[in-house]
Amino acid sequence: MTPDTIAPLFFLATSLLLVSGVLKLVRPRATAQALLDAGLPGSRAVARGLGAGECAAAAFAAAAPARGGALALAIVYLAFAGFVGYVLRTHPTAGSCGCAGSKAVPPSLLHLGLDVVAAAAGVTYLAERGPSAGVWFAGLGWGSLPVAMGLALAGWLLVVVVTGVPPAWHAWTPPTDDRAASHADRHLVAEDALSIAGIGPGHPSLWPGVGADAGAPG
């Protein structure tokens, strides 16, 4: 695999990391709340600190990927994957992981998988000694404009997919047998209560009018 092969994915991941960091700096409340919901220390200061770290990692990855920037990007995305995995395990119904500021990004296996792919792109780009963003785009010549537009479109589509697909999937998924099981449990509880009261399955009180009809003259 050559650097040019992995470069689009690598710089897409870099751009998304930068956007994520900026959103945390500008709108830290959602990230702070997501941390608190996950049982972790969360405040606007913490959220802004995370955002600043993400911006720094993205800038380092874009400017000097071969000198450790790509590794920094991979580490950040692995941390994202670890956090999403933790939330999925401990708080599977959480509304957002706080990755995109005020925009809700529900934790999902899709989100976790994309984080792992981005981390792998960082490691691969480091191994291939890929050039910086400026050098790579300069080498594309006039092709840099459509490539940049394509990366922007791909980033937007990824955001739409990550924010829209998991809720749509949960809404479409047929209900499980939990409702039937709950109904059966309620039925058993009712039978137990009647048994404690001394009312068995054939007790006359369960069949209104039957006893009266049986005792009435013909």
Q: Any idea what DSSP says for residue 174?
A: P
The pLDDT-based confidence of 196 (bands split at 50, 70, 90) is low
The DSSP result for 34-54, as a single string, is HHHHTTS---HHHHHHHHHHH
Domain assignment of residue 185, yes or no: no
Q: Nearest to residue 7, comparing CAs of 149, 140, 146, 142?
A: 140
Domain assignment of residue 192, yes or no: no
Task: Identify the residue whose tokens are 């809700």.
Answer: 104
In this structure, are residues 112 and 90 in contact, taking their beta carbons and an 8 Å threshold?
Answer: no
The residues near 157 (Cβ < 8 Å, ≥ 6 apart) are none
Q: What is the pLDDT of residues 94-127, one digit of tens each?
A: 778 888 767 778 888 999 999 999 999 999 999 9
Percent of the chain with pLDDT over 90: 49
Domain assignment of residue 212, yes or no: no
Amino acid 201: pLDDT = 57
In this structure, are residues 47 and 186 in contact, taking their beta carbons and an 8 Å threshold?
Answer: no
Q: What is the pLDDT of residues 8-17, one digit of tens each?
A: 999 999 999 9
In this structure, are residues 62 and 19 in contact, taking their beta carbons and an 8 Å threshold?
Answer: no
- What is the number of structural domains in the chain? 1
Given a cut of 50, is residue 171 above it in pLDDT?
A: yes
Host domain of residue 122:
3-172
Amino acid 193: pLDDT = 54
Domain assignment of residue 63, yes or no: yes
Domain assignment of residue 143, yes or no: yes
Domain assignment of residue 190, yes or no: no
Domain assignment of residue 96, yes or no: yes
Domain assignment of residue 203, yes or no: no
Query: Letter for the amino acid at 167?
Result: P
Whole-model pTM? Answer: 0.75
